[in-house]
Structure formats: C-alpha cells, structure tokens
Amino acid sequence: MVVLDLKSQRILVTGSAGFIGSHVLAELVQLGYRCLGIDNYNDYYSPNLKEERIEKLSLNDILQSVDLSDYDQTLKVFEVFAPEIVIHLAAQPGVRYSRINPDSYLRNNVISFENVLAASKAMSVSRVIYASSSSVYGPTDKTTFVEANRGGAVKNLYALTKRFNEDRISLEEDIESVGLRFFSVYGPWGRPDMAYFRMIGSALGLWRFDRLGSGEQLRDYTYISDVVDLVVSVVSLTQVPRVLNVGGGQPFSLNQMQILVEEFFGRPSTINSLNRDESEAMETRADTKLIESLGLPVPKVDFATGIVQVCNWAKSIPAETYSQWILSSK
C-alpha cells in the first residue's frame, strides 16, 4: 500500500454525530489530522443520545450542526473550512424505514449528496470518500459480493439511493472518489435499530425480540474498529478504487447470534417469530480480494468476539439507558 502524508490537509467528516462518522472523526483527530465534523442531528434516533456519544468521544468542540439538504449552508461550511478531503458519511439509513418515510431518503441521500458533490467541485476538493452500502447488491447467485458486480435490481428505496450515489459521482471525472460499501457495522453505541441490540435486550429481559423469518439470514457483521481502520487507511492511499467493500467476508446468522448472546447472559431470549422482509437480502458476504490487493487492513474481528464487547457494554450501563437508546429509533 502506497500512502500519502496528508496530516497537513483539512478533512471534513459529514454525519459525524452518527455511529461510523463519530468514530472515524475521533480517530482522525487522535492521529493528528485537522478536522471538522458536521451533522444535522436528525431524529431517526434520539439526538440527545447522539450528543451523549460524541461527548464520550470528546468531539463537541469540532462538530457543527449543518443541514446538507440546504445548499447555501453546505457551501458556507466548505468555504469557511476549505476542506481538501471530504468523508461523506451523512445519510438516512434503514431498509424498512424507507417505505415509511421516503422523503427523508430523497432529502438526505440524494439532495444532500448532490449538494456535497457540488460544494466539493466548487472548492476543488481533491478526494471524496463516501458511504455506500452492501444494500446496493441486488439479487445474485454469487456466494460473495464482488465490487464489479452489483447483481440484479434492488427491492428497496434505501438501496436505490445508494446505487444512485455510486452512479452519480462516477460522472464526475474531475473528482477522485471512492464509495465504501459498508457491511452491517456494529459495536457499542451503534445504530440502535440494528437486530443485535434488540436480541441483547431480549436476553436482558427488557422485551420480546421480533425475529423476521427463520433466523437463518446471514449478515457480514463488521466491527466498528475494523471499519475505522479501513476508512482511515483509504484517506492516505495514493489512488483509490471507485468502490470498495468494507467487510470481512465471514457472515453470521441471527440464530448464531442468539446462541452467543444467550451464552453471555446465561439466560434465554424471548423470540416472537414474524414473516421475513422480502425486500432484504437473505445473505451478505463481502469479497475481500480488492481490499487485500490494495494492502488495506481486512476486517478481522470475528462476530463471536465483537458481540461480547457489545454485551459487556450493554451490561455496564443502566437498563433504563439501554432501553432509551434502543427504543429511540424509528
């Protein structure tokens, strides 16, 4: 891997009150980069709890509230801070919520993306690193998800907006960019709508876990520290690919998750079986060959190890705080 010394340059991180964004921003600051974080603090889950997370990461002094769907606000930030690298992680996540509130996805994943792209062009940003998703992979008969093949048509609006981002930025030949296809990022203080948090809550006796389908669905869970290592490494690459998987290629099922969580807490979960959501993939499994060929750090924390870290965190905080965190999501 050939790297550049970029620590004299300015890096703007959007979505930096979010799970991935806050940890990426904290690591860049720790490494000595000059950074600014921005976020719109939307209410997909509790803004107060987002503030608690960024306070724990000591990010308050370098994080501003900005609505990227407002181009004037966006451009002003770019003009004042003059970033040379943009890490655009702000987005509206969630497959199922995209059916409930499609406007949020168009505003935050399409209009905001376009505004960041326009401001980057106006200020001659040298590199844009942005959040794509494993959801861009449509139906495929492949056992792994390879960057060069996105498969068939996707079945939900969230995935469609992420495909749009990849296709839209590919038209801009003057901007060096890479889309990071994140695979089920998890960890303490993670996005509270994720299944592993509700599974843990069930084992804690807080609620019944609504399992969609048989529990055999496979997800390539990627621990937050591995994600941060890979994103930071991409910052300093001399050349970047158009898209890159961010996953380790070792999926776990909901049923395997249940066994691990129940073993940790020494008590059974309470499961409520529902029909599977047909708009979601049955399996995700990142191909890691491109990561390896670039000399980037391949995600290495296996789920059995990572979920223990999450369980320890859940056990260490008051049950009321845990419930507020999880139940605050849409």
What tens digit of pLDDT does each residue of 160-185 get? 999 999 999 999 988 999 999 999 99
pLDDT of residue 2: 44
Q: Which residues pair with 286 in a beta bridge?
A: 145
What is the overall mean pLDDT for the chain? 91
User: Can you tell me the mean pLDDT for 128-140?
Assistant: 91
* Residue 330: inside a domain: no
Q: What is the mean pLDDT of residues 135-148?
A: 83
Q: Phi and psi for 131 in degrees, rounded to 5?
A: -80, 115
Residue 3 has pLDDT above 60, yes or no: no
Residue 89's domain spans which residues?
Answer: 10-182+223-248+286-301
Nearest Cα neighbor of 10 from 23, 24, 29 is: 29
Which range in 4-8, 96-100, 127-131, 213-217 is most confidently predicted, on average pLDDT?
127-131
Overall average pLDDT of the 79-87 stretch: 97
Structure tokens at 254: 């909901």
The pLDDT of 29-48, averaged and rounded, is 92
Question: CATH number for the domain including 230?
Answer: 3.40.50.720
pLDDT for position 7:
62
Residues paired with residue 87 on neighbouring β-strands, in sequence order:
13, 129
308 CB-side CA count, 13 A: 6
Residues with Cβ within 8 Å of residue 315, at least 6 apart in sequence:
265
Domain annotation covers residue 14: yes
Check residues 143 and 204 and name the one with the higher pLDDT.
Answer: 204
Residues in the chain: 330
Is pLDDT of 300 > 60?
Answer: yes
Average pLDDT value for residue range 153-159: 92
The answer to whether residue 196 is domain-embedded is no
3 state DSSP class of 327: helix
**How large is the average pLDDT for residues 185-190?**
94
Query: Using the 8-state DSSP alphabet, how is residue 213 labeled?
Result: S
pLDDT tier, 279 (very low <50, low <70, confident <90, very high otherwise): low
130 has catalytic annotation: no
Q: How many domains does the chain have?
A: 1
How far apart (Å, rounded) are the C-alpha atoms in residues 182 and 283? 14
**Residue 209 scores a pLDDT above 90:** no
Backbone angles phi, psi at 177, to 5 degrees: -145, 155
Instruction: Please report which confidence band the pLDDT of residue 152 belongs to, taking 50, 70 and 90 as the band edges.
Output: confident
| Mean pLDDT score, 156-160 | 95
Helices 19-30 and 224-235, axial angle in degrees (round to 10): 60
d(CA 40, CA 42): 6
Q: Which residue has the higher pLDDT, 5 or 159?
A: 159
CA separation for the pair 189, 314 (Å, rounded): 9
Q: How far is residue 316's CA from residue 240's CA, in Å, rounded to a whole number?
A: 40
Q: What percent of the chain has pLDDT over 70?
A: 95
In the chain, what is the straight-line distance between the N-terminal and C-terminal CA atoms, in Å? Answer: 41
Q: How confident is the model at residue 251 (pLDDT cuts 50, 70, 90)?
A: very high
In a domain, 217, yes or no: no
Contacts of 295 (CB under 8 A, 6+ apart): 1
Q: Is 34 a member of any domain?
A: yes
- In this structure, the strands spanning 218-219 and 252-253 are antiparallel
Most distant CA atoms of the chain, gap in Å: 57
User: What pLDDT shows up at residue 328?
Assistant: 82
In a domain, 4, yes or no: no
Distances (CA, A) of 224 to 26, 85, 106, 231, 308: 12, 21, 27, 11, 13
Instruction: Examine the pLDDT at 157 and tell me if it is beyond 60.
Output: yes
- Tell me which H or E stretch contains 64: strand 63-65
Q: List the catalytic residue out of 45, 137, 158, 186.
A: 158
Confidence class for position 278, pLDDT limits 50, 70, 90: low
**Inter-helix orientation angle 303-316/195-203, to 10°:** 60
Q: What local confidence, expressed as pLDDT, does residue 8 receive?
A: 67
Least confident residue range of 169-183, 195-209, 240-254? 195-209
Residue 307 placed within a domain: no
Alpha-carbon span 259 to 16, nearest angstrom = 33
- Which tokens go with 137? 């992979």
Q: What is the pLDDT of residues 52-63, one digit of tens each?
A: 889 989 998 999
143 inside domain: yes
> With 50 as the cut, is the pLDDT of residue 1 above it?
no
Is pLDDT larger for residue 11 or for residue 217? 11
